[in-house]
Chains A and B, each alone.
Chain A
Amino acid sequence: MILSLYGAWQKNCGGAFPPKFKAPRQVWVSNMDTVEEEKLGLIDLHPEVFAERPRVDIIHENVRWQQLYRHVSYANTKMRYEVRGGGKKPRQQKGSGRSRHGSIRSPIWRGGGIVHGPRSPTPYFYMLGFNTRLNGLRSTLSAKLAQDDLHIVDSLDIPTDDPSYLEKLVEERGWGPAVLFVDDNDIMPLNITAASDSHGHYNLMPVYGLNVYSMLKHHTLVLTLAAVERLEERLLFHLNRNDAASAGQKYRLDSV
């Protein structure tokens, strides 16, 4: 059985369908019912999404952005007007023979204020460009597929909610220590939710939460068929849209 996503490609591609000069990547579809892997069929993955040259610099930019955009630095130092004291002129301007000063808390004094120190709270929010984020996802997915860390399953239904079932399954199939299961729906089946709950390294995620950092943090990425269809449809839409500038308009820091 060869499964095909040509319908989804055609709807959203415009110029990118059919992928003429890059061959679609064929991947096995496995099951989650048994510990041993059973191959259910083959699927074609769109080369624009899964067969791009991985741009390591773009991946790095995405990881840096994901770590930094929500970071707020709470470090604080007091400036000369905030340090206690220092309102009075220490001695008169002339006559003492010593240097002239206006305040004992000026920055040149010991115990004085800090001029250009950290000021709490300092946000580090910035928005990475639309295409950089898009290409980050494409590069990471392509790298995962090329490095044999991407697997497709039909669905995330497992027979028991025993945590050891997942352990044995991952061990048997040679999937990495950390596995990220991605499905289209954000409410996952009960069994896999219970089984992966005790393990911090088996994580469930809906497609809309897929991001470069999580994909790199987990060794193996497991997508369901529905997730692959949704992912390709969305990424191909974003690759072929002409109004991407309006998508990032609300995050522009310099415009109101």
Chain B
Amino acid sequence: MASVAARSFVFRQQMNTRRFDFASCLKIKSFYSSYSANPKEKSPENYTQYHEVSSDNWKFVERLKPPTVVPSFPKNGSCFSDWTPPPDTPPNLPYFVKRTKNFMVPVYLNFEAVRNQRKITMVKHIEGDIWALEKAIKSHLEEVTKRQVVSQVHEVAMYIKFRGDYVLHVKKWLLNAGF
């Protein structure tokens, strides 16, 4: 602050013919075209103080950053949401539906716009006999909703799509089946 005031005082002395207001004289930062015209760096007491802290304090910064890899879930204790952890042993079935990397059941609701928006329930991460899984889920959905359910089995990408919003039904069925 002292340097700025000193500079503005010199400026006033040089230009005593014209009157300037305080704001125009207060130049905090100037960009000079040559090195020699630039004001040189002053001794440290002219600038704001700082002090170094221990590098152990970095842990306070690190714990604020979100983890990039999802950590494993705690083995004991119940969750207050209706999320259940994946079981340790697979069920004895010819197919398997793997959980996602965030330990969620891989059932999604898509909106596929075919003139009118069509709701599609999609089951992903399927391994094994996909046709048997499709038959099992379809018969369950038809029993629950008491209407015909249209489905698509994609053998290459290993997913099943059901026409309609049956996400909760399918998720419940998968959790009961032990996936």
Q: Which of B22-30, B50-58, B68-76 contacts A (4 or more CB under 8 A)?
A: B68-76
B98 at the interface (CB under 8 A from A): yes
A57 touches B156 (CB 8 A): yes
A15 touches B99 (CB 8 A): yes
A89 at the interface (CB under 8 A from B): no
A241 touches B68 (CB 8 A): yes
B127 touches A240 (CB 8 A): no
Contact among B69, B99, B127, B157 for A12, CB-based, below 8 A = B69
Q: If A15-B99, A20-B90, A21-B90 touch, does A243 touch B72 (CB 8 Å cutoff)?
A: no
Q: Which of B84-132 contact A (CB under 8 A)?
A: 88, 90, 96, 98-103, 127
Q: If A15-B102, A21-B90, A21-B98 touch, does A242 touch B156 (CB 8 Å cutoff)?
A: no
B90 touches A15 (CB 8 A): no
Contact among A15, A21, A239 for B72, CB-based, below 8 A = A15
A240 touches B156 (CB 8 A): no
Q: If A21-B96, A21-B98, A242-B102 touch, does A237 touch B69 (CB 8 Å cutoff)?
A: yes
Number of A-B contacts (CB under 8 A): 40
The chain B residue with its CB closest to the CB of A21 is B90
B168 at the interface (CB under 8 A from A): no
A15 touches B103 (CB 8 A): yes
B5 at the interface (CB under 8 A from A): no
In angstroms, Cα B66 to Cα A53, docked, is 32
How many residues of chain B get a CB closer than 8 Å to chain A's CBs? 19
How many residues of chain A get a CB closer than 8 Å to chain B's CBs? 17
Residues of B within 8 A of A16 (CB): 101
How far does the Cβ of B89 sit from chain A's closest Cβ, in whole Å? 8
In angstroms, Cα B103 to Cα A222, docked, is 34
Q: If A14-B72, A21-B127, A57-B156 touch, does A239 touch B96 (CB 8 Å cutoff)?
A: no
A243 touches B68 (CB 8 A): yes
A70 at the interface (CB under 8 A from B): no
In angstroms, Cα B98 to Cα A55, docked, is 18
The chain B residue with its CB closest to the CB of A239 is B101
A53 touches B158 (CB 8 A): yes
The chain B residue with its CB closest to the CB of A53 is B158
In angstroms, Cα B103 to Cα A172, docked, is 47
A14 touches B157 (CB 8 A): no
Q: If A14-B71, A53-B158, A57-B156 touch, does A242 touch B101 (CB 8 Å cutoff)?
A: yes
Q: If A22-B127, A53-B158, A242-B101 touch, does A14 touch B69 (CB 8 Å cutoff)?
A: yes
B70 touches A15 (CB 8 A): yes
The chain B residue with its CB closest to the CB of A57 is B156
In angstroms, Cα B103 to Cα A22, docked, is 17
In angstroms, Cα B103 to Cα A57, docked, is 27
How far does the Cβ of B92 sit from chain A's closest Cβ, in whole Å? 12
The chain A residue with its CB closest to the CB of B70 is A14
In angstroms, Cα B70 to Cα A16, docked, is 10
B101 touches A15 (CB 8 A): yes
B156 touches A55 (CB 8 A): yes
What mask results when residues 232 to 256 of chain A are scored 1 for a CB within 8 Å of chain B, else 0? Answer: 0000010111110000000000000
Residues of B within 8 A of A239 (CB): 101
- Which residues of B are in contact with A by a Cβ distance under 8 Å? 66, 68-72, 88, 90, 96, 98-103, 127, 156-158
Contact sample, A vs B, 24 pairs, CB 8 Å cutoff:
A12-B69, A13-B69, A14-B69, A14-B71, A15-B72, A15-B99, A15-B100, A15-B101, A16-B101, A20-B90, A21-B98, A21-B127, A55-B156, A55-B157, A57-B156, A237-B69, A240-B69, A240-B70, A240-B101, A241-B69, A242-B70, A242-B101, A243-B66, A243-B68
Q: 11 other contacts beyond A15-B103, A242-B70, with CB at 8 A cut-off? A: A15-B70, A15-B72, A15-B99, A15-B102, A16-B101, A20-B90, A21-B127, A53-B158, A240-B101, A241-B68, A242-B69
